[in-house]
């Protein structure tokens, strides 16, 4: 079962660019990279040469005679004697390149030759992306693929683009949803939080119409990630990577969700653990949200690299890592408030990350003033507060009213409730997070 993905459009844009470069598609394990490339390739090329370096390690010899397309094709035909290579109608798909990063050297030669298109794919788990980039610098494009967001989940459920346009129009006009609309979208969003966005899990849920087997699939995937840590750790300490991985739910259960090494190892230092944290971030597993020095433009570069929160890239997998009692509380009572709001924050962090946004928060020194997330327009900083209900927003009001933060003119509150606007604060339900970038495009 192939699920429609946003990457489909990006791959078509790449194909339609006459000056396209070889493409490297990265992303965490099991987000659907291979199936999306193959779905695209079969629709657009007469011949698709798929080489998976995990399933078929014998292909690791294809660069022995050089990196030119002709040299590589000659050795490919030793393994695939019936392969054909029609010019300008062949796609080479090199999959799982973390097992054979040397193939990146050939990308320059494929581009100079110009007769064939190339896509390389691999999980960031173990992909030597910096090495791959340095080998092929100036001769590759890059796309990052995420797990399904809520819009893609709606597509999987059979909803069309007009549904999303309707959601956006409600946001732009600040018009609340009807009671029936709210119930429908909230139920769908709850299902999305349970399944998460990994295609195999979503497809199982869609095909069966129930959550049968979902938890087992998720727990198997968690074990796969842990096994990959052991396999692809390179020079980073396995134990530290594993410790940080296991600690993400622990930090999200705290009132103060800032990452503190002392909670993992009493005498540990940030310098010790930072390579492990960055490894998990590069792997697409951990999402880092940095504390801004001040809530002002620019956001990038205006933060403390030693002060951050950690979130998990997929809320469904995050739920599967919780203790049995917390899972049952969420699944049976739809209690989003478990983990002291950590679940809510993870949902929003995941949604913003999938929308292409970097994550920032603000905690003022020697003050209780703290805000969950920040976005921006061209000229304004937009604080985003995450609430379990439609409660008081003291921090948000302080940021908007204070003369100390002139670039903040309005804010957004994400709640377990309907749309509203009081002249300074837009209130939106959590399920609409994926549309925030499109909403903010209209605000400058």
What's the distance, Cα to Cα, between the start and end of the chain in Å? 41
pLDDT in tens, 368-377: 889 999 999 9
CA-closest candidate to residue 288, choices 264, 310, 259 = 310
pLDDT in tens, 198-242: 999 999 999 999 999 999 999 999 998 888 887 766 666 888 898
Residue-wise DSSP of 221-250: HHHHHHHHHHHH-TTS-HHHHHHHHHHHHH
CA-closest candidate to residue 249, choices 345, 358, 384, 114 = 345
Walk along the chain (444 residues) in steps of 10 and give the mean pLDDT of each run: 95 97 92 96 98 95 96 96 96 93 92 96 66 68 94 97 96 97 96 95 95 93 87 73 88 82 86 90 92 94 93 92 80 70 89 96 88 95 89 87 94 95 95 96 88
Residue 141 falls in which region: left (phi positive, over 0), alpha (psi -120 to 50) or beta: beta
**Residue 268: its pLDDT value, please?**
83
Q: How many residues does the chain have?
A: 444
Q: In this structure, are residues 191 and 156 in contact, taking their beta carbons and an 8 Å threshold?
A: no
Q: In this structure, are residues 346 and 315 in contact, taking their beta carbons and an 8 Å threshold?
A: yes
């Amino acid at each position: 079962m192939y699920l429609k993905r946003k990457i489909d459009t990006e791959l078509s844009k790449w194909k339609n660019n006459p000056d396209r470069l070889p493409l490297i598609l990265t992303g965490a394990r099991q987000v659907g990279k291979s199936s999306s490339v193959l779905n695209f390739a079969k629709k657009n090329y007469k011949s698709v040469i798929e080489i998976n370096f995990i399933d078929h390690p014998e292909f690791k010899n294809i660069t022995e005679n050089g990196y030119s397309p002709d040299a590589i094709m000659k050795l490919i035909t030793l393994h695939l004697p019936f392969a054909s290579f029609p010019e300008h109608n062949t796609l080479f798909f090199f999959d799982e390149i973390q097992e054979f990063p040397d193939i990146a050297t050939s990308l320059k030669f494929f581009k100079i030759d110009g007769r064939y298109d190339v896509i390389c794919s691999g999980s960031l788990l173990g992909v030597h992306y910096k090495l791959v980039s340095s080998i092929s610098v100036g001769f590759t494009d890059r796309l990052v693929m995420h797990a399904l967001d809520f819009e893609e989940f709606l597509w999987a459920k059979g909803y069309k683009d007009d549904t999303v346009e309707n959601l956006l129009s409600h946001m732009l006009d600040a018009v609340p949803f009807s009671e029936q609309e709210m119930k429908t979208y909230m139920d769908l969003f709850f299902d999305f939080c349970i399944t998460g966005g990994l295609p195999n899990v979503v497809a199982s849920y869609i095909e069966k119409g129930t959550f049968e087997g979902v938890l087992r699939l998720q727990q198997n995937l968690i074990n796969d990630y842990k096994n990959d840590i052991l396999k692809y750790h390179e020079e980073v300490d396995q134990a530290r990577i594993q410790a940080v991985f296991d600690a993400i739910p622990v930090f999200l259960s705290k009132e103060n969700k800032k990452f503190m090494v002392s909670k993992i190892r009493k005498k540990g230092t940030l310098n010790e653990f930072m390579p492990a944290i960055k490894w998990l971030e590069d792997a697409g597993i951990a999402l880092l949200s940095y504390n801004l020095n001040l809530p002002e433009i620019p956001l990038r570069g205006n933060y403390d690299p030693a002060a951050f929160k950690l979130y998990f890239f997929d809320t469904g997998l995050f739920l599967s890592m919780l203790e049995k009692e917390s899972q049952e509380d969420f699944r049976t009572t739809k209690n989003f408030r478990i983990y002291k709001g950590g679940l809510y924050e993870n949902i929003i962090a995941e949604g913003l990350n999938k929308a292409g946004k970097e994550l920032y928060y603000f905690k003022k020194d020697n003050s209780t003033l703290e805000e969950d997330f920040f976005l921006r327009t061209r000229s304004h900083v937009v604080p985003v507060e995450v609430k379990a209900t439609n409660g008081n927003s003291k921090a948000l009001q302080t940021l908007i009213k204070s003369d100390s933060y002139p670039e903040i003119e309005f804010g957004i509150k994400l709640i377990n409730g309907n749309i509203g606007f009081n002249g300074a604060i837009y209130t939106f339900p959590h399920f609409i997070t994926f549309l925030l970038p499109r909403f903010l495009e209209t605000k400058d």
